Amino acid sequence: MSDSILDRRWPWLVAAAAIVVAYLLSTGNQAEPGSGPADPRQVGTIDDLQQLHERDDVNVLFILIDTLRSDRLGSYGHERETSPFLDQMAATGVRFDRHLSQSSWTKASMASMWTGLNPWRAGITRFDHVLPEEAEMPAEILRDAGFRSIGLFRNGWVAPTFGFEQGFEVYNRPTPLGLKRGVLAKKPTLSKGGTDEDVTASAIEFLRVHSGGRWFLYLHLMDIHEYTYDEESALFGSHYSDVYDNSIRWTDTTIKVLIEHLVDQGYAENTIVVVASDHGEAFSERGFEGHGRQVFKESTEVPFFFWLPFKLGEPVVVESRSRNIDIWPTLFEILGVETSRPSDGRSLVPDIVAAATGTEAPAADRTGMAYLEMGWGKRNIEKQVTVSVADDSLRYVRTPIEVDLVEQLFDASLDPAELKNLSETEAATLARLRSIADEKLAEPPIFGEMPTREISEMELNQLRAIGYDIGQ
């Protein structure tokens, strides 16, 4: 019996605090670009990608960058150098150029991503909803396939309180280590709850001491959500939107340090590193700031890319539409992990192969939905849904405003900012996308009545501290 206790008590958890201090003293966050260990990965091909499922040694490092809209990354066309390291990662792997999150606040979006179900099907749409036991989570599926699963998070919406720990052997919110000297800026309204270095330091320690066995390591980063950055990342100004770019630059460096340790520990050639986000952020494009209030482009277009245990000689960019609900079906296929759980998503491997070979991807439903219950953070409020449908370059958005449902239609191929409403001039297209929305919304929830949970005042305050007005 004592054996099993010892098995479960991983030394890295016990030792983490002391070692983390040593790590922070020994490594500056700001390594020079180009320094660090060389990337040892061999050049591989798309055939190698399709053969990965035959290997039994491939790990998954899943980096979830909270609140990252794709158009603020260089690889997605941003003119500022916010993301040199992430861009370099994307350029040696597979990047999805038009990728959509299924909601615009963390819990609804993460529940959808993890379950592969649209938000109204997964059922996690309000602040007090809890993922039910019967939801089959990726960590459970990977555990059953022989992975050891570890989750490290700093966002209370994915805490065990809400059922997100299912399948993880260790699921932990790292203790804040305090702000390092030089880390100066935060959204002034937010509490000082540490930085993502708390997460990456624990992750680095895990990589250092883990021996043997496949792993799935999920890191949920929050510095961009909290507008954290240091002096050296303060390159782009002090306006709200500029500070957001500063914090992307800071996060880029945090991830660079993490990946250098991954390479150092010999994991470069047997790890898939996934980078994804749960939603974007609005900067008054149409009167809103922040997220969780609407489902327009700026709140729902997010990055998704991964690097592989080998470099692809030519970067593969998938331009057909993809969605967060597709991420796990894609990873399961690449890893050769079988699951029979219900899914609204699909594997993107055919789209990757088509992009890599310059052929046409097979026909599939690539329509992306984003869904938000207005007032999701309030008690006893009537359900009002805003929804958007992304179909190629088109986006239909339906918003309840007082007693009306306001419909808008945008075409990003003509109007990249999606500010010119075509609903009056393109009636047939509007009707087509409206009926897609209605058909999809008619699909029933998978888990029936959603369990809710009384959330303590302390937990509510923790969530309020990261900027949410909830539970009133």
Residues that bind Zn ion (CB under 5 A): 66, 106, 278
Nearer to Zn ion, 101 or 271 (CB): 101
Total residue length of the chain: 472
As measured in angstroms, the least distance from the Cβ of 278 to Zn ion is 4
Nearer to Zn ion, 106 or 202 (CB): 106
Nearer to Zn ion, 165 or 278 (CB): 278
As measured in angstroms, the least distance from the Cβ of 427 to Zn ion is 36
Bridge partners of 371, per DSSP, are 387
As measured in angstroms, the least distance from the Cβ of 64 to Zn ion is 9
As measured in angstroms, the least distance from the Cβ of 175 to Zn ion is 21
Strands of 215-221's sheet, edge to edge? Answer: 170-172, 148-153, 215-221, 59-65, 271-276, 304-307, 94-96, 316-318
CA atoms of 67 and 65, how far apart (whole Å): 7
Nearer to Zn ion, 109 or 408 (CB): 109
As measured in angstroms, the least distance from the Cβ of 110 to Zn ion is 8
Nearer to Zn ion, 106 or 253 (CB): 106
Q: Residue 181, Cβ neighbours under 10 Å: how many?
A: 8
Nearer to Zn ion, 106 or 324 (CB): 106
As measured in angstroms, the least distance from the Cβ of 323 to Zn ion is 17
As measured in angstroms, the least distance from the Cβ of 1 to Zn ion is 41
Nearer to Zn ion, 44 or 138 (CB): 138
Nearer to Zn ion, 148 or 464 (CB): 464
Nearer to Zn ion, 107 or 261 (CB): 107
> Under a CB-based contact definition with an 8 Å cutoff, are residues 106 and 278 in contact?
yes
As measured in angstroms, the least distance from the Cβ of 206 to Zn ion is 23
As measured in angstroms, the least distance from the Cβ of 318 to Zn ion is 24
User: Whose CA is closest to 135, among 121, 149, 147?
Assistant: 121
> Under a CB-based contact definition with an 8 Å cutoff, are residues 410 and 418 in contact?
yes
Phi-psi region of 116 (alpha: psi -120 to 50; beta: other; left: phi over 0): left
Residue nearest to Zn ion (CB): 106
Bridge partners of 64, per DSSP, are 220, 276
As measured in angstroms, the least distance from the Cβ of 106 to Zn ion is 3
User: Whose CA is closest to 309, among 143, 454, 93?
Assistant: 93
Nearer to Zn ion, 16 or 65 (CB): 65
Nearer to Zn ion, 157 or 396 (CB): 157
As measured in angstroms, the least distance from the Cβ of 125 to Zn ion is 15
- Cα 441 → chain centroid: 23
